[in-house]
Structure 1
Amino acid sequence: MRSLRKRPRSDNLANQKRSHSTSYGRYIYLSILIVMATSLANYMWGDLIMLRGDGLVLRDKAILAASYTSRVEEIFVEEGQTVNKGDVLMHIESSEQLERLADLSTQQADLTQRAAEFKLRMQIANRLLPLAKQREAQTTKLLGVVDDLQRKGNLTTSRYEEILKSSFDASSHLVQLTVDLDMLSGQIGSLEAAREDAAVALEKLKAHYSDGKITASVSGTIGTEVPSPGAVYRTGDPMLSIYAGEAYILMYLPRRYLFSIEPGMAVDVSNGRTNVAGVIDSILPLSDALPKEFQNSFKPMQRNQLARIKLQDQPIFPVYEKVRISRPYW
């Protein structure tokens, strides 16, 4: 038999060189381990050595609340509009205030009329007083003569009684006029004081109502909630808000850290698009629960101490925007 293929012998095979290949998988695996270890260390102990905190962009807020039950007739502003102090924001109408204005006007008119009547009575009394004094003096003098005639028997009893009655009426009239003058003087003084109080109250109410014009108490930006025409507000209900003053950051400090955080410390503020330099203006002696957008679903609700950050530049940060605060290290 003869083989069809010649096979090499195993005892005389030529030496073969093993090819060398780069182990990229090992490097990738080690890199993933390093990244995971670094992330875990940063999550567990990063706050101890690096300043990282959450904050909200805030501005001073002035709320315009309804002082009385009112209905919005016209609105002259919109959300985000910039207004100056004294600008007319809306026009309202209040039947309650209009009734009070009418009542005060009627009351003032009544007091004025009563004061005029009392003054007229006082003028009449002042003119009658000299005549009453003269009559009282004449009847007193006549009564002395009549007494002499009565003692001598030259005057009848009925006539003497008539003269006595006339003298009594004259004295009574004089006393009545004197008392009326004193009483009218006091009543006119009280009415004048009441009328002045009513006039002052009426003017204050008119100024407060101001024909239903609501003006801005501060200069700033109109908030997101703007009333619509026809809306009705009860006493104390907020109608409009104005954000005034410069923007600042209310920062929620970390719960633990190994470095000192003091007023005057420089920080960086970022909203993901813009970075702005800031300075910690004050550390407030207050703590508050983190807003929902800052809470961690895997941790219980936290309370952090608050700090106020003053921005060196005033960027266009929307109010209530969430920002991240860190410490510059270069």
Structure 2
Amino acid sequence: MAENDTTGADFLLVGFLMSQKQGVIAFTIFLFIYTVTIMANILIIVLVRMDQSLHKPMYFFLSNFSFLEIWYITTIVPKMLADILSKRRLISHNGCITQLYFFFVFGAMENLLLGVMALDRFLAICYPLHYPIFMNDRTFVQLTGGCWVFSCVSLLLPAVSMYQLSFCGPLVIDHVFCDFSPLMKLSCKRNSLSEVSFTIISWIVILCCFFLIMMSYIFIIVTILRMSSTARRQNAFATCASHLMVVLIYYGSAMFIYIRPPGHESFPFDKVLFVFCVVATPLMNPIIYSLRNQEVKTAMKRMIARLKVLRSPV
């Protein structure tokens, strides 16, 4: 503990070191991506809500995933955009912990929801006759509600205990937001309850969900390969390909950042990977699901046709 306790003071977010011109360019790009991401995910939610053919568990989970992505990116990007053009990239102690809490609540929820979506595909493909019994209206609502409750409650312990931590030295966070590892480097006490509980929860949520997803897809692939009909195999692969692509993109970056052994941080590189994970991925998800899903594309065409009819003169 080399320096004075500065608990309660503002934190300085280093962000990306850029010239003013580069900052304007970065601001424009990130604002465009953020706007398109919000609009694309809202479109998915509206489609699922309005089109009767999409009133299925698979699309109920997809609309929840889109709703989650809106809040996931909103937790980080507006503050990041403000900091890009600001000379004082400060965030209060309470604001920092609050941002960290909600970011990881939505992150945990994303893991759990991807796992539930994999389970849904497993039941639909491996047990098609029993699927309506297993995945009825009550079941998929309870699964989604359970994911939200678990995410909010499980992150309370590390967040509340972090409010009570003392931070020493210059409160400079070498990141674009209040991430856990760079924040812990400023703590006067290492291996605190917050750090231990967060590490355990991260490993459990990420690895257990990833294991569930991989096991589900092993059984799915085996079942698909045993199908005698080529058309059925193609249809089954098509319904899973989008979800599997999102899973691989998300877990590839999330595992690298959050389940490495302690002492292997590389914050400058992590910032770049983080921007891809949090800013680019939520934009890619609705594109992947819409462009590779025939039912979504058909529903979108019907909605466009209805809008044309409404706008046409009587």
Same fold (TM over 0.5): no
TM-score range, shorter-chain basis?
under 0.3
**Structure 2 length normalisation: TM-score?**
0.20
Query: Per residue, is there more helix in 1 or in 2?
Result: 2
**Structure 1 length normalisation: TM-score?**
0.19
Query: Per residue, is there more strand in 1 or in 2?
Result: 1
Larger Cα Rg: Structure 1 or Structure 2? 1
